[in-house]
Homo-oligomer: A and B are copies of this chain.
Amino acid sequence: MEQTLKLEHQICFQLYTASKELTRLYRPILEPLNLTYSQYLVMLVLWEEDGIDLRQLGTRLTLDSGTLSPLVKRLIQIGYVEKSRSSDDERKVVVRLTDRGSALREQAMDVPLQVSGMLNIDEATYVAYMEMLTDIKTRLHDFGERQREQ
């Protein structure tokens, strides 16, 4: 393993800039939907699984309440979601799509196509890259497990 302090040789830096630049690509696409990138991720979860509670939402997105509480508050202000306490467990806050929030899904349907068009990437490469990224996360989780064990 090459060990230097050169910026370009560090995988963390490449991940960090690739993520930032890809997010930048989304900005103009999401602007007409009136969503930031993080808000878009929350909407993706809700379109899949409406009526999820904040805790589960945070687990899916790797975000804690310190990030999600104010973010959801903004989505409420826009009018895409509403929240209420769960009846069977008063600690839990359930997030639900409003009609406008559900309707937005139609508009968002072609976002992935737009993005892959911009990236100009073929299916096989796309799949290979997805596997690499999930593998990196697996390695990170494995390390977390090993740490927790002892």
Contact = CB atoms under 8 A, between A and B. Distances in A.
Interface of A: 1-7, 9-23, 25-26, 37, 41, 44-45, 47-48, 60-62, 105, 108-113, 115-116, 118-123, 126, 128-130, 132-134, 136-137, 139-140, 142-143
Q: Please state the number of chain copies in the assembly.
A: 2
Q: Which 10 A-B pairs have the closest CB atoms?
A: A14-B133, A19-B19, A15-B19, A7-B44, A118-B143, A21-B140, A119-B139, A18-B136, A18-B133, A1-B123
A48 B44 CA distance: 41
Contacts of A16: 19, 22-23, 37, 41
Contact of A1 (B113, B118, B142): B113
